[in-house]
Structure formats: structure tokens, C-alpha cells
């Protein structure tokens, strides 16, 4: 994507109560960093949920149904996730956007 992060300081502050070891946070962190570098806000009411591999592939996460239920309850309306996450049981108001690679997500949001 052409980001020159080696020339920048990147600080990440995690909210209390979030288990930092969860690989599902990868996509959200990548989206936040790209948003900051481009000085472009992320889409409102959007959740990012996926493990990002070293080559930029997005992997599916465990318990997506539980995550989407909570996101819907909190008022979010779309979820970016990996291609293997197909369950969206009973959450028609929540749009599931599946992407294979990180650059596809970033192109969609920036």
C-alpha cells in the first residue's frame, strides 16, 4: 500500500477488557494505522474482525457469530472479515463484507 511506517512512531492504546492475544484484532489495528497515515476516518458503525498474515491474507476468526451479535447489539451495521467467515445467522441488519487480502479492505475504506 506504500505506507512508510518505518519513518513513523506508531502507538496503540487498547481499551480495557480486550484480550490483546486475540488474532481477530489484527484487521482492526491495520485499518486504524492506515486511517491515521492517510488522515482519513474509518467508516462509521463498522467492525473489523480478522487475523492478518505476514503476506496480507485475511484469515477467518473463531466465534464470529458471537462477535456479530455483540456488534449488532451495540449498533454497528457492517463487519469486514475474512473469506471463511460465512455465518451471519439472524443478523440481516448487519452486512458481512468478506475480503481475502488486507489491501482489498483498505481500498474499500480509504
Domain boundaries, the chain: 21-109
| Half-sphere exposure in the Cβ direction for 25 (13 Å, CA) | 10
Q: Which fold has domain 21-109?
A: Ribosomal Protein S5; domain 2 (3.30.230)
Tens of pLDDT, residue by residue over 28-77, are 999 999 999 999 999 999 999 999 999 999 998 988 888 988 999 999 99
Three-state secondary-structure class, residue 67:
helix
* Residue whose entry in the numeric block shows the C-alpha cell 486475540: 22
% residues pLDDT > 90 (the chain): 55
**Model confidence at 2, in pLDDT bands (50, 70, 90)?**
confident
pLDDT of residue 102: 96
- pTM for the model: 0.86
Amino acid at each position: 500500500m506504500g505506507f512508510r511506517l518505518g519513518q513513523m512512531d506508531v502507538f496503540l492504546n487498547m481499551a480495557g477488557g480486550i484480550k490483546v492475544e486475540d488474532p481477530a484484532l489484527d484487521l482492526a489495528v491495520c485499518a486504524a494505522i492506515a486511517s491515521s497515515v492517510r488522515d482519513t476516518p474509518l467508516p462509521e458503525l463498522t467492525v473489523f474482525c480478522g487475523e492478518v498474515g505476514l503476506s496480507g491474507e485475511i484469515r477467518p476468526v473463531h466465534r464470529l457469530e458471537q462477535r456479530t451479535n455483540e456488534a449488532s447489539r451495540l449498533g454497528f451495521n457492517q463487519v469486514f472479515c475474512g473469506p471463511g467467515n460465512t455465518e451471519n445467522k439472524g443478523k440481516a441488519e448487519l452486512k458481512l463484507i468478506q475480503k481475502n487480502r488486507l489491501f482489498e479492505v483498505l481500498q474499500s475504506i480509504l
